[in-house]
Structures are given as structure tokens and as C-alpha cells.
Amino acid sequence: MIIGVNGIGMGHSVRQSVIAQYLRDRGHHVRIITNGSTRVEYFRDLGFPAWDGWMPTLLARDDRIHAADVLRTNIRRTPAGISQHLRLRRAIRKAGAPDMFITDYEPNTPRLAYHFGRPLISVDQQSKYRHLDLPPVGRYARTADEQRLRYFAPRADRSFICSYVPLEADDRKLEFIAPVVPDFVRSAQVTSEPVSTAYFSRYFDHGPEDSVRALADVFRQYVPDRTLRIYAHSDEIENLRPYADGKIEICPFDRQAFISDLARSEAVFSNAGFNLISEAFVLGKPVHLVPLPTYDQHWCAKVVHEAELGTSTPRIERGAVLDFLNRARELRANVERHRDLHLVQDPRERIASYLETLPAACGRVPSPSLR
């Protein structure tokens, strides 16, 4: 099989690498298509054959994707992108077309599945915005997400939709599953120490500086007895180092170290990215969220706040931070109950079991041409 992975951000790659390794352990031959050399190398380092595919830029304006914007943004890269996709198609034909394709919010594997006449299965968290009539959140609507999904994958034979809150739909082609979380996160040693962990992303012009500065000021002035460990990517570190002071630490992002701190923290501060929230909940940790300017992040923040699994504010503010910390024990108990009800089951078994019911899955042992 071939798994297509959106290469923007690390969350998609982490989720799909966990699924890919699980399927490989069950005897399936798994190949990867993603976009960007960094993500290609990430999967190759895990031992997977991986190709770099083209993903056009589909930016939203006023909660919609406009054809004129798509044309203007992509016109110079389109000829090279089409050529890249055709080379990818030829490479797959030469190596041997897979039995099935899996897609995670990207356009390459759907086109290949249609071309080779193979089943297409989506495994992502965004498809809820396509299939469910979810309401606007403030000034944000799901319209652009739905358009993007319809462009990427006009049709799929089955959709597994990851969600950390219960969701339902009448469509039998849809199945809601718990978030896919790496084994080392699920098995991390969980404690509760006077430590808070923070991570804020960059999204175009929205960087981590304002959130880091404001959060550091609150801890410095009002919570001097607790340690705050703020993680940042290497290209952000120098800009953020001035905010370190005493028990406020600015740390270069390292996945293992971050998860270790997450597991021992009493509270977590971050933007509202799906993967980080899922991992925090699996570890039983409440979150204080500052969503980036997308519908996805605002929807995630809204449902967390409403379920009392954490809190959400448009920006880091002293009163909201202190209220969150004062409620940390109560919120942690809510998260632990929620986790035990909804997030304990590992969804990889359900995904693999479905794939192995497909007629094409009879070829689990790869032929020599696919090795």
C-alpha cells in the first residue's frame, strides 16, 4: 500500500508514521508519498521507501478558497508540479501499483488511486469538516477546509476520522476513531510536578513571540515557585531566549524531551493543534489553548473549552492563565475521566482490520518487485 501524507507541519507525519510502522509490523509493504525533502527524509530514516510529491497551495480568504487566488498562487509552479506528479505515476507503475492507497489531507494519493483503479481510504482528523455540518466559531467557518478536502480527494471508499471528542454521523463510509498516538507517548511515565510545559507554533506572520513573552511575564510575576519550560524550534530560539529567567526555561524542541516534560507537567500551554492536544489528553494533562487563525484551531479550542478539558483564550492573558492554573487539579480529573472513556483504545487495530478485509489485501506479502 501507499500512504500519502501532508508534509505541512509535523502532526500528519507523526500520525501516519505510527500507522505505517504498525502496518509494516503486520506484514504489509508500505510506501510513502509526502511533500518536501525534510518529510521525505523523515520517513526514509524510519525505513520506508518515500517519494516527494507536489501539493499546490490553497490559501483561504474570507473563509473561502477562490479560484483566482489558486491560479495566482500556483501558476508558476503548476507545470513543474504536474511533471513531478507524472514522474511519480511512472515510478509507481514501474515498481508495481499497490493494492490500495491511504490519504491524509493531500492530493497525490487520491489521483493515483483513481488512475490505477485502487481503493482509497482516508485517515485524518480534518474530514469531519467535510462530512459534518459544524457551525462557525467566531468569525471562522469550515468552508475553506471543506473545499480543500473536496479538491484533494473528491471521493474516498472509506474515511477514518480521528477525534478526541465523541462525534457521530449516519454515513456508513465514515468511522470515528480515537487519535493515533505513538506508543512511547502512551507508555510515558506520568507524574504531576510543579512544572508547566509550553509550545507555540509559527503560522505565516503569527509567531510565538507574543505568547511566550506574555506567559513568561505571568509566571515571573505571579507564579515564581513553578517551573515553566517553553519549547521552540531551532530557528525561533534566539528570538525567545531573552524571556528566560530563573525557573523560566527556553528549550530547543526535541520530541522525546518534550513528551517527557509533558508527562510530568501539571499544565500545558499551546496553540490548538490536534496532535498536541491528543497527546496531552492521553497523558491526562489539561491544556490552555491560544488558537492560531484557522477554523481547525478555533474548533479544537472551542470543544476543549466546552468539555472542560482545558481552557481557551484569544491570547495569553494574566487572569485566564492564573484561573487555569488554579483549576488545574479539577481539569486534570476531567481529562483523566474523558481519556478512560474515549481515548484508551488504540485505533491502529481497527484501521488494519478494515484494510485486511478489502479484496486487494490478499496480497499482504509483497512480490519481489515491491521489496
CATH of the domain at 242: 3.40.50.2000
Is there a single domain that holds both residue 249 and residue 324?
Answer: yes
292 and 244 fall within a common domain: yes
- Do residue 253 and residue 221 come from a single domain? yes
Based on the structure, what is the number of domains in the chain?
Answer: 2
Instruction: List the strands of the sheet with 310-312, edge to edge.
Output: 248-252, 227-232, 195-199, 267-270, 287-289, 310-312
Assess whether 125 and 175 both reside in one domain.
Answer: yes
Q: What percent of the chain has pLDDT over 90?
A: 91
pLDDT in tens, 96-118: 999 999 999 999 999 999 999 99
Q: Please check whether residues 91 and 163 belong to one and the same domain.
A: yes
Distance between the two ends of the chain, CA-based, in angstroms?
12
Determine contact, residues 250/241, Cβ cutoff 8 Å: yes
Q: What confidence category does residue 361 fall into, taking pLDDT thresholds of 50, 70 and 90?
A: low
Are 272 and 211 members of one domain? yes
120 and 140 in a common domain: yes
Kindly state whether residues 199 and 169 are assigned to the same domain. no
| AA letter at 141 | A
Size of the chain in residues: 371
Q: How far apart are CA 301 and CA 273, in angstroms?
A: 9
Q: Residue 194 and residue 215: Cα distance in Å, rounded? A: 16
Q: Over range 163-167, report the average pLDDT.
A: 96
pTM, entire model: 0.92
DSSP assignments along 256-318, one per residue: HHHHHHHHH-SEEEE---HHHHHHHHHTT--EEE---SSHHHHHHHHHHHHTTSEEE-SS--H
Q: Which three cell numbers stand for residue 368?
A: 519481489
What residues make up the domain containing 94? Answer: 2-180+347-370
Do 108 and 218 fall into the same domain? no
Residues 188, 233, single domain; the answer is: yes
pLDDT level of residue 205 (50, 70, 90 thresholds): confident
Q: Is 208 in the same domain as 309?
A: yes
Same domain, 151 and 261: no
